[in-house]
Amino acid sequence: MLASLSIGIAILDSSGCVVRVNEAWRLAAAEGVFGEHHAVVGQSYLDECRRAEARGFDAARELRQGIERVLARRTRTFRSQFVSQTRDRWLEIVVDILKHEAGGAVISVADVTERRLDEKTAEATRGHTAHLGRASMMSEIASAIAGEIKQPVTAIQLNALAGATLLGAPQTDLEAVWSDSREAWQMFKDIYDYASRASGVIEHVDQHVHRQGGNGAIVDLGETCRSAVRLVEHEAALRGARIEVDIDAHAPAIAGDAIEMQQIAMSLLLNALDAVSESSERVIAIGVISRGAEVEMYVRDTGPGLSPKVRQHLFESFFTTKEGGLGMGLIIVRSIVERHRGRVIGEDAANGGAIFRVHLPVS
Ligand code: ADP
């Protein structure tokens, strides 16, 4: 059994002496991942750790102390991850009590380099997505605010203009009144000028935030879905929800920004997770369907669905029914989709719950 295991195993007696090692352990030692005498049966493994410590391999001290604690039965398990002496691998070492009346310990070592790299990539993607999320959130908020104040500022301008015109109109024969009102006229003119300036700033912000578009790369929406699912999997598990993925392998690619597409999928998935959290059945389906000149990416859930009020305001900025919600998620989704010349629809699914469909033109 030991020989067939792909993880390295060493068995130590109660004094820390190596009693037996398996093939995988020997192989790892031969590659120099631990130290030269690492796999020698009959040698004290604690001494081997000390020698590695003396060579400046700090992780060896931590490991030795862990083994000592397990041998002394002060702890059942010791677990640690460290970089190999060759500095190119990540290793996970687990030391367990050997269930034997004479005492001892079992050490297992696994190469977790791939896993750590995957985690790192996922983390970087998460970071990038979060950053992009914040950036597009800011631009959408800026744009929403710009939209909200554009109208009153324009009203101020027009009123100032009207006021000035009224004052300046040749309506009296009294030069005195006119000279009196010159000051008021100047005030109206100032109001008009200030409002014009504000309006210019708003216009500038609005144009600026909508300037950047998709970078026109080829995006496989199936991959988008799969990677978005990977990023929310943990959250889904915590909430007791299951995510089903159904990708049409023949669906063509679209042209756009892969990270932005992932952001759309993530937003819809997170909304779906929020929705199913209220239900007893917690299933989310995400998928890609080929629809002629368009590709559809959908997210369906078994939540409460969309009430008429929610449906009416769904894509409005700052509309939220959640405590602590911001109400910007869907508007960002729509703005990204529209920049990619697509459209997004939110409706009730046939069997209850909601479904959001994103249609994008084929590349
Ligand atoms: P937020 O998630 O911050 O509320 P969103 O713009 O993403 O902002 O969503 C706006 C609102 O739309 C939500 O508060 C919710 O009422 C509704 N909604 C979004 N997705 C779903 C869904 N899958 N099921 C039911 N309601 C949803």
- Which DSSP string do the residues of 301-340 spell out, in sequence order? E-S----HHHHHHTTSTT---STT--S-HHHHHHHHHHHT
| C-alpha 164 to ligand 1 mean position (Å) | 47
Sheet strands (E) in 163-258 = 217-219, 242-247, 254-256
Higher pLDDT, 36 or 63: 63
232 Cβ closer than 6 Å to some ligand 1 atom: no
Dist CA 287 CA 226 (whole Å): 9
What pLDDT is stored for residue 95 in this prediction?
95
- Determine the Cα angle at 123 with ends 121 and 124, to 5°: 65
Sheet strands (E) in 176-228 = 217-219
Dist CA 253 CA 140 (whole Å): 27
Q: Which of 137, 267, 302, 314 has the most ligand 1 atoms within 8 A of CB, as the residue to mutate?
A: 314
What pLDDT is stored for residue 288 in this prediction?
97
70 Cβ closer than 6 Å to some ligand 1 atom: no
What pLDDT is stored for residue 169 in this prediction?
52
| C-alpha 306 to ligand 1 mean position (Å) | 9
Question: Across residues 1-21, what is the average pLDDT?
Answer: 90
Which one of 147-161, 223-237, 267-281 scores highest in mean pLDDT?
267-281
What pLDDT is stored for residue 239 in this prediction?
87
Q: For the chain, list the domains and their CATH numbers.
A: 8-111 (3.30.450.20), 125-361 (3.30.565.10)
320 Cβ closer than 6 Å to some ligand 1 atom: yes
What pLDDT is stored for residue 202 in this prediction?
78
| C-alpha 211 to ligand 1 mean position (Å) | 27
Dist CA 178 CA 283 (whole Å): 75
327 Cβ closer than 6 Å to some ligand 1 atom: yes
**What does the DSSP assignment read for 71-94?**
HTTS-SEEEEEEE-TTSS-EEEEE
What ligand 1 atom has the least distance to the C-alpha of 272? 23
Higher pLDDT, 23 or 125: 23
pLDDT at position 73 over 90? yes
247 Cβ closer than 6 Å to some ligand 1 atom: no
Question: Across residues 174-191, what is the average pLDDT?
Answer: 63
Say which range, 2-11, 186-195, 323-332, 353-362, has the weakest mean pLDDT. Answer: 186-195
Residue 264 pLDDT level (bands cut at 50, 70, 90): very high
Question: Across residues 119-124, what is the average pLDDT?
Answer: 74
Which one of 58-62, 108-112, 299-303 scores highest in mean pLDDT?
299-303
303 Cβ closer than 6 Å to some ligand 1 atom: yes
* pTM of the model as a whole: 0.55
Question: Across residues 167-187, what is the average pLDDT?
Answer: 57
Say which range, 70-74, 325-329, 334-338, has the weakest mean pLDDT. Answer: 325-329
Radius of gyration of the chain from its Cα atoms, rounded to whole angstroms: 33
Taking each helix axis as running N to C, give the angle between helix 329-339 and helix 258-276, from 0 to 180 degrees, rounded to the nearest 10.
150
Q: Chain centroid to CA 302: how far?
A: 23
Dist CA 185 CA 198 (whole Å): 20
Structural tokens at position 76 = 């059942």
276 Cβ closer than 6 Å to some ligand 1 atom: no
Higher pLDDT, 55 or 77: 77
215 Cβ closer than 6 Å to some ligand 1 atom: no
319 Cβ closer than 6 Å to some ligand 1 atom: yes
What pLDDT is stored for residue 105 in this prediction?
95
Neighbours of 235 (CB within 10 A): 12
| C-alpha 321 to ligand 1 mean position (Å) | 7
| C-alpha 95 to ligand 1 mean position (Å) | 47
Higher pLDDT, 264 or 317: 264
Q: How many CA atoms lie within 13 A of 76 on its CB side?
A: 1
Say which range, 191-195, 236-240, 304-308, 328-332, has the weakest mean pLDDT. Answer: 191-195
Question: Across residues 177-189, what is the average pLDDT?
Answer: 65
Question: Across residues 356-363, what is the average pLDDT?
Answer: 95
Percentage of the chain beyond pLDDT 90 is 40
Comparing CA positions, the residue from 271, 310, 296, 295 lying closest to residue 284 is: 271
pLDDT at position 177 over 80? no
What pLDDT is stored for residue 258 in this prediction?
86
What pLDDT is stored for residue 34 in this prediction?
62
What ligand 1 atom has the least distance to the C-alpha of 332? 6
Which bin fits 359, alpha (ψ -120 to 50), beta or left (φ > 0)? beta
Main-chain dihedrals φ then ψ at residue 341, nearest 5 degrees: 60, 35
Dist CA 234 CA 267 (whole Å): 15
Contact indicator for 325, 336 with CB cutoff of 8 Å: no
Dist CA 193 CA 340 (whole Å): 38
What ligand 1 atom has the least distance to the C-alpha of 271? 20
pLDDT at position 44 over 60? yes
76 Cβ closer than 6 Å to some ligand 1 atom: no
Neighbours of 193 (CB within 10 A): 12
Dist CA 10 CA 222 (whole Å): 44
| C-alpha 293 to ligand 1 mean position (Å) | 29
pLDDT at position 346 over 70? yes
Dist CA 17 CA 307 (whole Å): 69
Q: What is the pLDDT of residues 195-226, one digit of tens each?
A: 887 888 777 776 666 545 445 789 999 999 99
Residue having the nearest C-alpha atom to atom 14 of ligand 1: 320
What pLDDT is stored for residue 3 in this prediction?
85
Comparing CA positions, the residue from 278, 261, 269 lying closest to residue 300 is: 269
Q: What is the pLDDT of residues 84-93, one digit of tens each?
A: 777 677 888 9
First to last CA, the chain: 53
Amino acid at position 79, single letter: R
pLDDT at position 185 over 80? no
Residue having the nearest C-alpha atom to atom 12 of ligand 1: 314
Structural tokens at position 34 = 């631990």
Residue 171 pLDDT level (bands cut at 50, 70, 90): very low
